[in-house]
Amino acid sequence: NAGVTQTPKFQVLKTGQSMTLQCAQDMNHEYMSWYRQDPGMGLRLIHYSVGAGITDQGEVPNGYNVSRSTTEDFPLRLLSAAPSQTSVYFCASSRTRDTQYFGPGTRLTVL
Amino acid sequence: RKEVEQDPGPFNVPEGATVAFNCTYSNSASQSFFWYRQDCRKEPKLLMSVYSSGNEDGRFTAQLNRASQYISLLIRDSKLSDSATYLCVVTDTGNQFYFGTGTSLTVIP
């Protein structure tokens, strides 16, 4: 039972590069979200989706894009990486307002 | 003002001790409440949901006080394996989850 998977686990980028963090879930959950976690800041919501074709911004959306073409996948795109985007990124899925299941995280460093 | 606030700790307690964490939330219309546990460099995992009537799971008891807008977590007979960061989570009437910054617990032998 895979649950929520994220790739890659680790990534180093140079300033200005773009990349996509992948997230997939096999639980048929309608709700998916992306968070970043920084020391002393807790988990902050970047973007979320309540179903295929529907996305919305969270607390810290600038510099990130998302799309939701299927129920299973919710990729996060960094358009032009900046050092301020160095963080740990978690993807999560749930039934709406129910328990969230998290992926193992992606540790991103932007030089 | 943050949606969810927690005392970051750290709480350092001996094995067998009882420890309690509190969490306050700002939105009186908040719908669902949870405690998550996060081990170092790992993803958060659900510890327990919090219901209005209070609920217990083994050594863990969670309480919700809607009038005062706080949630509590009580851990009895602490084990070394309870060492982790405990995150308070609240949902609003929409679809957003709000996380506290977490409370760090270390159980000492």
Cβ–Cβ contact A41 with B under 8 A: yes
CA distance A33 to chain B (A): 9
User: Is A29 within 8 Å of A6 (Cβ atoms)?
Assistant: no
pLDDT tens track, chain A, 111 positions: 679 999 999 999 999 999 999 999 999 999 999 999 998 788 999 999 999 999 999 989 999 999 999 999 999 999 999 999 999 999 999 987 788 999 999 999 999
Cβ–Cβ contact A35 with B under 8 A: yes
B45-85 residue pLDDT tens = 999 999 888 899 999 999 999 999 999 999 999 999 999 99
User: How many Cβ contacts (< 8 angstroms) between chains A and B?
Assistant: 49
Contacts of residue B19, defined as CB under 8 A and 6 or more positions apart, other chains included, come to B11, B13, B74, B75, B78, B105
Instruction: Quickly state the pLDDT bin for B3 (edges 50, 70, 90).
Output: confident
Higher pLDDT, B9 or B58: B58
Chain A 52-111, residues with CB within 8 Å of chain B CB atoms: 56, 58, 90, 92, 96-105
Residues of chain B contacting A56 with CB distance shorter than 8 Å: 95
Both tokens of residue A20? Answer: 């996509």
| Percent with pLDDT over 70 in chain B | 99
Residues of chain B contacting A48 with CB distance shorter than 8 Å: 95-96
